[in-house]
Chain A
């Protein structure tokens, strides 16, 4: 294919695009030299070529990459680092359920408190009952001994000692309310007192086997001193103590707080009235 008047444009375009072979380039240049009127056309086409301008990409350092930046761990090691978060079950609290639960808990606490109060009260009553029972029993024994003394006519020395011991015992029985341990102490003292009768040469008629277990070394006078140390229970404190659950509340102190709160409200009321 030769450069001529019908193909020159295509050759000129290929020429400016530098797509021709060296021989074709020479053929185009020869055609222009022989036909100078086409030189202006080639010049116009050459003007369509963009002038080379410089555009600089700033911060090329951002594009640099290094193998160290790609350092990666083994998948097995990564898997060993995985952690599972503990499943937290959050209860679905509703106000109604919460109110019911609170009221039930409050009732249960009150019930426990009442039970505790009842237990304490029961212990006191039981102590009273046991004290009265022992007093009755003691009176009965005293009467029987007196009758025996009358019938058997014991010596004057023994009568005096027995009278002294009984007088001491009467003192002890004057305490109406005593704990169970004290009652036991009284009973033992009574038994020891009765021992005096067994040690005497005159037999009182009580069987020996019942007193065989008791020892003769304990003196009855010492025991009577120990018994006199017990005091009557002060039941008046219970009147001003209120048990709420297992807590004791002093009503006297509580009354003072209620008075103060009441005075505050009164003060507000009086202020409002004064303003009116």
Chain B
């Protein structure tokens, strides 16, 4: 991976990695630190990283950094530093979307990461397994459980609102 490849990777993936982390931990500054660490590691190991796999390398490093961050008991569910509702309001402020976001935040960190990687980044089960150090079948099972859980919460909301 050359210097040019690395800087292109910054342009292409910095926003995506940041979104993935900030949606998980919901703390902007900590998410920025994690992203910075991930890119720092990519730069240090640039000679051994394939440019085509740089994105998954970045997400892998960032995911493990995030897990360490969560294990250290740092912020994860505080709403003070990251106002997700206001951000979503720019997209249309649909009530159903707010319910969905709340429901996703109630998932466990693994399920949440699975949903985020799948829906935001469009990774395949195999790629998600590589990033999260899970088997493809584990990814499939965990993700399907998360989807069904979200579906139940959404259907419950629809019944209440109706």
Known: A55-B22, A65-B3. A47 touches B36 (CB 8 A): no
User: Which of chain B's residues have a CB closer than 8 A to the CB of A13?
Assistant: 143-144, 147-148
Known: A48-B154, A65-B6. A10 touches B144 (CB 8 A): yes
User: Which of chain A's residues have a CB closer than 8 A to the CB of B88?
Assistant: 51, 53
> Does A83 sit within 8 A of B, measured CB to CB?
no
Known: A62-B36, A65-B43. A55 touches B147 (CB 8 A): no
The docked-state distance in angstroms from the alpha carbon of A113 to that of B22 is 87
Judging by beta carbons under 8 Å apart, are A57 and B87 in contact?
Answer: no
> Does B74 sit within 8 A of A, measured CB to CB?
no
User: Which of chain B's residues have a CB closer than 8 A to the CB of A57?
Assistant: 14-15, 17-18, 32, 35
Contact of A63 among B10, B104, B119, B125 (CB under 8 A): B10
Judging by beta carbons under 8 Å apart, are B147 and A60 in contact?
Answer: no
Known: A44-B154, A55-B15, A62-B36. A50 touches B116 (CB 8 A): yes
Smallest CB separation, A41 vs chain B (Å): 8
Judging by beta carbons under 8 Å apart, are A51 and B39 in contact?
Answer: no
Query: A15-23, A201-209, A214-222: which lies at the B interface?
Result: A15-23
The A31-54 residues at the B interface (CB cut-off 8 A) are 44-45, 47-54
The docked-state distance in angstroms from the alpha carbon of A16 to that of B11 is 29
The B87-117 residues at the A interface (CB cut-off 8 A) are 87-88, 91, 96-97, 100, 104, 115-116
The docked-state distance in angstroms from the alpha carbon of A49 to that of B151 is 10
> Does A77 sit within 8 A of B, measured CB to CB?
no
The docked-state distance in angstroms from the alpha carbon of A17 to that of B100 is 17
User: Which of chain B's residues have a CB closer than 8 A to the CB of A18?
Assistant: 122
> Does A64 sit within 8 A of B, measured CB to CB?
yes
> Does B118 sit within 8 A of A, measured CB to CB?
yes
User: Which of chain A's residues have a CB closer than 8 A to the CB of B151?
Assistant: 44-45, 47-48
User: Which of chain B's residues have a CB closer than 8 A to the CB of A17?
Assistant: 118, 125, 143
User: Which of chain B's residues have a CB closer than 8 A to the CB of A52?
Assistant: 119-120
Judging by beta carbons under 8 Å apart, are B125 and A19 in contact?
Answer: yes
Closest to A66 in B: B3
User: Which of chain A's residues have a CB closer than 8 A to the CB of B10?
Assistant: 60, 63-64
Judging by beta carbons under 8 Å apart, are A60 and B14 in contact?
Answer: yes
The docked-state distance in angstroms from the alpha carbon of A19 to that of B120 is 15
The B60-97 residues at the A interface (CB cut-off 8 A) are 87-88, 91, 96-97
> Does B19 sit within 8 A of A, measured CB to CB?
yes
Contact of A48 among B23, B43, B150 (CB under 8 A): B150
Q: How large is the interface on B (under 10, 10 to 19, 20 to 34, 35 or more residues)?
A: 35 or more
User: Which of chain B's residues have a CB closer than 8 A to the CB of A47?
Assistant: 96, 100, 151, 154
Contact of B97 among A51, A54, A66 (CB under 8 A): A51
Judging by beta carbons under 8 Å apart, are B147 and A65 in contact?
Answer: no
User: Which of chain A's residues have a CB closer than 8 A to the CB of B138?
Assistant: none
The docked-state distance in angstroms from the alpha carbon of A53 to that of B104 is 15
Judging by beta carbons under 8 Å apart, are B3 and A50 in contact?
Answer: no
> Does B7 sit within 8 A of A, measured CB to CB?
yes
> Does B155 sit within 8 A of A, measured CB to CB?
yes
The B28-55 residues at the A interface (CB cut-off 8 A) are 32, 35-36, 39, 43
Judging by beta carbons under 8 Å apart, are B122 and A63 in contact?
Answer: no
> Does A72 sit within 8 A of B, measured CB to CB?
no
User: Which of chain B's residues have a CB closer than 8 A to the CB of A54?
Assistant: 15, 19
> Does A67 sit within 8 A of B, measured CB to CB?
yes
Closest to A67 in B: B3
> Does B124 sit within 8 A of A, measured CB to CB?
yes
The docked-state distance in angstroms from the alpha carbon of A13 to that of B148 is 9
Q: List 11 A-B contacts (CB under 8 A).
A: A9-B148, A44-B154, A44-B155, A45-B147, A47-B100, A48-B100, A50-B104, A50-B120, A55-B15, A60-B10, A65-B6
Given contacts A45-B147, A47-B151, 5 further A-B contacts (CB under 8 A): A17-B125, A18-B122, A50-B116, A65-B6, A65-B7
